[in-house]
């Protein structure tokens, strides 16, 4: 039985051919102790293996979210801090992206004049809360800064992307929303109006220059780019395609029960990946997703250029756990065209294909979940922290690395990497290497322990080569803990002879890392 199990594991690793290892974690201290859901942080990669991390440093006041002084921190690939810039004012950061020359673009909102580290400033126009878009040169100076209220009334910037040196910004205007193109000097090139469509939360372009946007709360007679696209849904989320000239090609609606914020990206083969919170059963083109069965859910869908759905993915219909995706940048596409999803999870979720996430005491913990280009679960990783802990954004590079940012209280740990914050709540930045290759990954890079025989009736043998004390927790399919034993690296035997027949999960806790296996007792 042990030989068979090892062979199955080897075949699984051959198919996966990747692992995910945390290389380092960094944190930024804040003065924040209030509701962490009002904080906003983001991450983006930069040329030369660098990464930017940004968001609130010091709270000044509250509006819809926490507002205050912002930081923009750049690190090299080894986690060394290269720059730590501060924007003084009362602002929040919504999005950030870099171009091929290493320039950084940042968007957000402000309640007063912004003062930058190089002595320049962006004046406030006294319109209460105002959107902004700034360009930071590769040398660290402010190239230009735009107050969006100079062009639009009540502009709330939501998302941005770069295409051929131009910035495309999605922003909401209460009863309408817009997709605006800016040139390299910060001048408005054009705006695609979406009338009676209040929220545009995501924007992306494909290699041909077609524009994709997503959002929610479209009126039943919403007008996209001058063309009416009616819907019978009282609340809906949408995905729209515009051609290079900004003329709408199609709009896909799915049912919603409020105004959710979804995101969109384009994968390596030109498919449109649409993702966001899923609050109810919804039909995406011809595909039905069931919605939450235990508290919360999210969706990831793939569409072709003609607007036909290719596949859909959501949290499985289980009563033992749930998950949320990150609210600012929830997914990234890796070099092998797989999709990494960042967010949080609690309880036990069996995603299928042997991938299971598990947390202790039904607490919310940071979650990383990877699915293949055809929505097959590949692997998962759960970060551990004593209290509050969630990932809000993820971005990958062409070398197979990805970076996440999240919010934590206490100590955050992934694998052997950890960071303990001094602040009550603080943002963290972590780097992972997926080791994407054409060979076979090392056995224990992906798998913390092996268990045999499986299925079992009398006992199970557990083997691990990871040093330190291990805690093994066996839970029923309902999530109830039925066995709790401790052991050291090497070999541990557990007696299951008195257990009822059924499917269980076995979790190994070691040095802040959790790994879960599905086991069968007969």
* pLDDT for 323 beyond 90: yes
Indicate the average pLDDT of the chain.
Answer: 90
In angstroms, the CA 39 to CA 66 distance is 6
* pLDDT for 439 beyond 60: no
- What is the CB neighbour count within 10 angstroms for residue 372? 15
Mean per-residue pLDDT, 275-298: 96
Distances (CA, A) of 264 to 26, 217, 261, 441, 458: 28, 16, 10, 31, 50
pLDDT band per the 50, 70, 90 thresholds, residue 266: very high
Highest averaged pLDDT of the listed ranges 29-43, 372-386, 387-401, 503-517: 29-43
H or E element at residue 75: strand 66-75
Contact 427, 406 (CB under 8 A): yes
- Residue with the larger pLDDT of the pair 14 and 143: 143
* pLDDT for 387 beyond 60: yes
The pLDDT assigned to 18 comes to 46
pLDDT band per the 50, 70, 90 thresholds, residue 469: confident
Query: Structure tokens of 471?
Result: 């805690």
In angstroms, the CA 461 to CA 472 distance is 12
Number of helices followed by number of strands (H, E) in the chain: 2, 43
pLDDT band per the 50, 70, 90 thresholds, residue 440: very low
In angstroms, the CA 448 to CA 351 distance is 18
Mean per-residue pLDDT, 143-170: 96
Cβ neighbors of 8 (< 8 A, separation 6 or more) are none
Mean per-residue pLDDT, 477-502: 82
The pLDDT assigned to 448 comes to 62
Mean per-residue pLDDT, 89-111: 98
The pLDDT assigned to 5 comes to 34
**pLDDT tens-digit readout, 33-86:** 999 999 999 999 999 999 999 999 999 999 989 999 999 999 999 999 999 999
> Where would I find the H helices in 333-416?
none
In angstroms, the CA 423 to CA 30 distance is 6
Cβ neighbors of 227 (< 8 A, separation 6 or more) are 247, 248
pLDDT band per the 50, 70, 90 thresholds, residue 511: low
Extents of the domains making up the chain: 30-38+283-326+328-394+407-435, 450-521
The pLDDT assigned to 455 comes to 82
Q: What are phi and psi of 472, to 5 degrees?
A: -110, 125
Percentage of the chain with pLDDT > 70?
92
Cis previous bond, 453, omega within 30: yes
Q: Looking at the chain, how many residues does it have?
A: 522
In angstroms, the CA 437 to CA 403 distance is 19
The pLDDT assigned to 13 comes to 34
* pLDDT for 10 beyond 50: no
Q: Which residues pair with 323 in a beta bridge?
A: 345
Cβ neighbors of 347 (< 8 A, separation 6 or more) are 294, 320, 321, 322, 358, 359, 362, 479
pLDDT band per the 50, 70, 90 thresholds, residue 364: confident
**pLDDT tens-digit readout, 398-420:** 888 999 999 999 999 998 999 99
pLDDT band per the 50, 70, 90 thresholds, residue 12: very low
* pLDDT for 227 beyond 80: yes
Q: Which CATH number is associated with domain 450-521?
A: 2.60.40.3080
**pLDDT tens-digit readout, 329-349:** 999 999 989 999 999 999 999
pLDDT band per the 50, 70, 90 thresholds, residue 478: low
In angstroms, the CA 318 to CA 384 distance is 22
């Amino acid at each position: 039985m042990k030989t068979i199990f090892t062979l199955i594991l080897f075949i699984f690793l051959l198919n996966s051919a990747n692992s995910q290892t945390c290389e380092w974690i960094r944190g930024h201290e804040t003065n924040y102790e209030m509701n962490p859901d009002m904080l906003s942080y983001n991450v983006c990669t930069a040329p030369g293996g660098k990464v930017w991390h940004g968001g609130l440093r010091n709270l000044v006041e509250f509006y819809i979210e926490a507002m205050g002084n912002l930081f923009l921190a750049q690190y090299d690939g080894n986690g060394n801090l290269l720059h730590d810039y501060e924007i003084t004012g009362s602002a929040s950061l919504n999005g950030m992206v870099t171009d091929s020359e290493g320039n950084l673009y940042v968007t957000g909102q402000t309640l007063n004049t912004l003062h930058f580290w190089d002595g320049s400033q962006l004046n406030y126009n006294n319109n209460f809360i105002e959107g902004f878009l700034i360009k930071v040169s590769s040398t660290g100076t402010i190239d230009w800064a735009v107050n969006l209220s100079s062009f639009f009334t009540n502009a709330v910037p939501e998302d941005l992307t770069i295409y051929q040196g131009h910035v495309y910004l999605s922003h909401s205007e209460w009863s309408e929303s817009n997709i605006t193109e800016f040139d390299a000097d910060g001048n408005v090139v054009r705006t695609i109006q979406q009338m009676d469509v209040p929220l545009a939360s995501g924007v992306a372009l494909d290699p041909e220059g077609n524009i994709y946007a997503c959002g929610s709360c479209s009126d039943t007679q919403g007008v996209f780019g001058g063309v009416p696209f009616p819907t019978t849904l009282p609340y809906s989320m949408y995905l729209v395609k515009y051609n290079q000239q900004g003329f709408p090609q199609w709009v896909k609606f799915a049912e919603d029960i409020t105004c959710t914020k979804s995101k969109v990206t384009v994968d390596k083969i030109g498919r449109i990946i649409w993702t966001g919170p899923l609050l109810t059963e919804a039909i995406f083109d011809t595909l039905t997703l069931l919605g939450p069965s235990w508290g919360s859910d999210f969706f990831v869908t793939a569409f072709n250029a003609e607007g036909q759905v290719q596949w859909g993915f959501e949290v499985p219909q289980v009563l033992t756990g749930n998950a949320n995706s990150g609210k600012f940048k929830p997914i990234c596409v890796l070099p092998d065209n797989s999709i990494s999803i960042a967010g949080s999870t609690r309880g036990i979720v069996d995603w299928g294909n042997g991938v299971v996430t598990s947390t202790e005491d039904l607490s919310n913990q940071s979650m990383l979940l990877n699915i293949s280009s055809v929505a097959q679960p590949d692997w998962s990783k759960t970060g551990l922290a004593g209290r509050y802990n969630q990932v809000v954004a993820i971005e990958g590079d062409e070398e197979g690395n990805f970076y996440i940012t999240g919010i934590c209280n206490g100590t955050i740990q992934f694998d052997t990497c950890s960071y303990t914050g001094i602040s009550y709540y603080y943002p963290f930045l972590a780097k992972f290497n997926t080791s994407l290759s054409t060979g076979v990954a090392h056995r224990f890079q992906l798998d913390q322990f092996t268990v045999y025989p499986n299925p079992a009736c009398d006992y199970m043998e557990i083997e691990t080569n990871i040093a330190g004390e291990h805690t093994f927790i066996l839970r029923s399919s309902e999530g109830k803990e039925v066995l709790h034993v401790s052991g050291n690296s090497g070999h541990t035997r557990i007696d299951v002879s008195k257990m009822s027949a059924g499917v269980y999960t076995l979790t190994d806790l070691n040095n802040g890392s959790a790994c879960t296996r599905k086991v069968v007792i007969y």
